[in-house]
Structure 1
Amino acid sequence: MDQIHLMKVFVAVGEEESFAAASRRIDLSPAAVTRAIAALEDELGVKLLARTTRNVRLTDAGKRYLDDTRNILASITEANEAAAGVNAAPRGSLAVTASVLFGRRFVMPVIVRYLQQYPGVDVAAYFLDRVVNVVDEGMDVAIRIGHLPDSSLQALRVGQVRRVMVASPAYLAAQGTPAHPADLLQHTVIAASGVTPRVDWKFGAAGDPTMVRMKPRLTVTSNDAAIAAAVGGLGVARLLSYQVGEELAAGQLSVILAEHEEAPLPVHILHREGKFGASKVRHFIDLLAAHLREHPHLG
């Protein structure tokens, strides 16, 4: 059988973890899917899938082969698109992910401009406050804040942000301004996290950090809510600088303990593109990178 066909069938089965679901996805009969997987395993001389009466799972060899096969098929698609002239006119579907607040404030304006400029493309935007797996969840572009682990993904640095301590001028006038991180123990703390009732906040350089453990007076599950509470004068919150850029510019919040901040965190655009690069992805990244690099809150 054709090697590319076998690879496509295997990727469908591996991702769906089901012969029946893969059959529906690629519009082949279950028998044809079973024959294709058997032929591929015979050709390779290795077991790629472990089958039971209830489910299908990848073997260790199958997991490695799935990653390699995805990359090969993606490269073939990119090469075909480049040869067919798709690069001249972006079209198709684009999946983009970022955190909720970053996506709303920084990515959505670019998506709107991109869709207006390229009518042949549809965009699905996933703004979630969790790390989305770019490969497993089918994302074309992701924006990440923080230091990146080793990865096969392509990364383009577009800015940086800081972890900042903020409070309203009214709160600071009434309660005083902390001079040292340890002074926070005497202040009302707002935490944007629902994971634990206690919070460890680290300050200073990596080689000489200061750790302060506090019990927040208010714990919320969204950054927007923490910002609102701080603006309202409840207490001190720790957020990323881009999240409170508008409030700082308007004088609704003030930065405190700036001399004790950790090193800035990089902002990257991640994507899976190979050497050809699909037009829809390249054009979006170009727009997004230019927008983020020029933004004053990401410098």
Structure 2
Amino acid sequence: MSRIEDLETFVAIIDAGSLTGAARKLGRSLQAVSRSLGALENDVGIELIHRTTRQCRPNEAGQAFYQRVKPALTDIIEARSEISDRRLEPRGLLKIGAPTLFGPDFLVPIIAEFMRSYPQIEVDLQLTDTFVDLAAEGFDLVVRIAQLPDSGLQGKRLGALRRVVFGAPSYLKDRGIPKHPGELRDHCCVVRTVDRQPGQWTFRAGGRPRKFSVNGSFRCNSMEGIYSAVRCGLGLGYSPLWQIKHMIDNGDVQIVLEDYEPEPVPIHVLWQENKFPPAKVRAFVDLLAKRLSLEGL
């Protein structure tokens, strides 16, 4: 099959009327143009151009071939240029997956900035707390808050997120501030019933991770309900710090047992392993890493 370069050379020779003119137009040597034309004629098995010392003209077969090839070649060149533009300039649909609570507060403002910078970008943000399959579900990238196994995906670490115990000032004034995770057995704790191990909170004690059993008179299946209950003084809660930072800033709750916090959970942005990631993915990942400052949050 003829190379695109040979077809480009053939069209350029006819358009320019000579090998020399084609060489000048294409920025190639005269020898390279001559070899390219010879390779094309060998491939199709017929002479296409009559050559003289001064000019080159297509014969009947060459003229017919030219009329069929030139429009197709123009389409190929335009398609190649469009693909090159897509590689360089972010455009098209960007499908992003992110945790339900994390996405609205942390990602949407960055997505808005990204879309203002690149008007040809569209975004489909899917908020879910399950691990999606990027390839099967058509995601360009996902944000995950977890220790990650080797998944065959490319990724960038965005930071690490703390998990903390917290309580309302009224509760802590009434029941006291726990000094060690073992003291939680004497406290009311608000337990999330849909956890994998409800009532088992992880701490770092004695230089290693340890689980401590907790209980209380109020349980709930949602974090929003738990936050409201803790704010109302019904007990201590256990949560990622980023989810309750606004409550801390407002003075609604305060952190306890900071010396026993477990190892922070890493947060990553992941995308399909690809030697040449699309420009939209590269540009968004760069902006995400630049705008998010999540280490120790």
Question: Does the CA contact (< 8 Å) of 1:181 and 1:203 recur in 2?
Answer: yes
Question: Does the CA contact (< 8 Å) of 2:115 and 2:121 recur in 1?
Answer: yes
Cross-structure match for 2:200: 200
Relative to the length of structure 2, the TM-score reads 0.67
Partner Cα distance (2:184, 2:231) in 1: 18
Cross-structure match for 2:280: 280
Q: State the shift of 1:81 in Å.
A: 8.3
Q: Alignment length, in residue pairs?
A: 219
Relative to the length of structure 1, the TM-score reads 0.67
Partner Cα distance (1:81, 1:102) in 2: 38
Q: For residues 273 and 82 of structure 1, do their structure 2 counterparts lie closer, same or farther at Cα, with a shift above 3 Å needed?
A: farther
Q: State the shift of 1:162 in Å.
A: 1.0
Identity %: 33
Cross-structure match for 1:118: 118
Question: Does the CA contact (< 8 Å) of 1:242 and 1:298 recur in 2?
Answer: no
**Equivalences for residues 110-259 of structure 1 within 5 A:** 110-195=110-195, 198-204=198-204, 208-259=208-259
Partner Cα distance (1:244, 1:184) in 2: 20
Q: For residues 221 and 272 of structure 1, do their structure 2 counterparts lie closer, same or farther at Cα, with a shift above 3 Å needed?
A: same
Structure 1 residue matching 2:213: 3-state secondary structure: strand
Letter in 2 for 1:226: I
List gaps (5 residues or longer) in structure 1.
Answer: 1-79
Partner Cα distance (1:283, 1:107) in 2: 14
Of 198-207 and 280-289, more deviation after overlay is shown by 198-207
Letter in 2 for 1:255: I
Partner Cα distance (1:81, 1:176) in 2: 69
Partner Cα distance (2:284, 2:188) in 1: 43
Question: Does the CA contact (< 8 Å) of 2:192 and 2:198 recur in 1?
Answer: no
Question: Does the CA contact (< 8 Å) of 1:154 and 1:273 recur in 2?
Answer: yes
Question: Does the CA contact (< 8 Å) of 1:198 and 1:215 recur in 2?
Answer: no
Q: State the shift of 1:286 in Å.
A: 1.3
Partner Cα distance (2:224, 2:169) in 1: 19
- The structure number with the bigger radius of gyration is 2
Q: State the shift of 1:258 in Å.
A: 0.8
Q: State the shift of 1:156 in Å.
A: 0.4
Q: For residues 186 and 282 of structure 1, do their structure 2 counterparts lie closer, same or farther at Cα, with a shift above 3 Å needed?
A: same
Question: Does the CA contact (< 8 Å) of 2:91 and 2:118 recur in 1?
Answer: yes
Q: State the shift of 1:236 in Å.
A: 0.5
